[in-house]
Amino acid sequence: MKIDLSKKPEGATHINPHSGLWVKCFGGNSGSYQFFKDGEWEMGFGCMSNSYLEIAQPEPWTGEGLPPVGMVCEAMLPSMNHQWAEAVVVWHHPEHEGSAVVVHGGGRLTGWSSAFRLIRTPEQIAEEERELGVEALRLAVSKSPNCKAHGLEWDVACAIYDAGYRKQGAQ
């Protein structure tokens, strides 16, 4: 029997080599289990069979070290002026430890990178944009000769930014 891992449903830990059914084990090999049939998980009865083949479960990448091949992450790309961009790791470079070849945007080979991070959440992106906006305001406040808030520029900039005041584009 040939096993097609691309058809593995989320959560499957084993496969029954006789029936081809995917199995989700919880509670160890002799614990409870479910099997995937007709697009849904159904409860199994009795103990799970020793003949079920365990499917290797990759460890999730935490953002430390090189992401595994096939991982979608953000990479700082020299070919894009060292900007962060979403990319897929396709190969770990054997001669340059800590580097990997990546593709970006439509499968276009982008090159190599040695800086990787997990894809940021919308909340993380909004917080980063806020930090940049507040820093720009802080610099403007600290340069103003009329501002006597020395040492309080960050607090003043946060209040201005959070109140919604932003520099508008040319009218």
Sequential pLDDT tens for the chain (171 residues): 667 777 888 888 888 888 888 888 776 555 678 888 888 888 877 666 677 888 776 678 888 888 887 788 888 877 777 788 888 887 887 777 777 777 766 556 567 788 889 988 999 999 999 999 888 888 877 776 666 655 677 777 778 888 887 766 544
Tokens of 96: 């340059």
Q: Which residues contact 15 (CB under 8 A, 6 or more apart)?
A: 3, 8, 21, 22, 23, 52, 53, 55
Whole-number pLDDT of residue 169? 53
Whole-number pLDDT of residue 126? 92
Please name the amino acid found at residue 44.
G
Q: How far apart are CA 113 and CA 160, in angstroms?
A: 38
Whole-number pLDDT of residue 138? 80
Whole-number pLDDT of residue 123? 95
Whole-number pLDDT of residue 110? 66
Whole-number pLDDT of residue 171? 40
What is the b/e burial string over 134-152, where b = at least 16 CB atoms within 10 angstroms of the residue's CB?
Answer: beebbeebbeeeeeeeeee
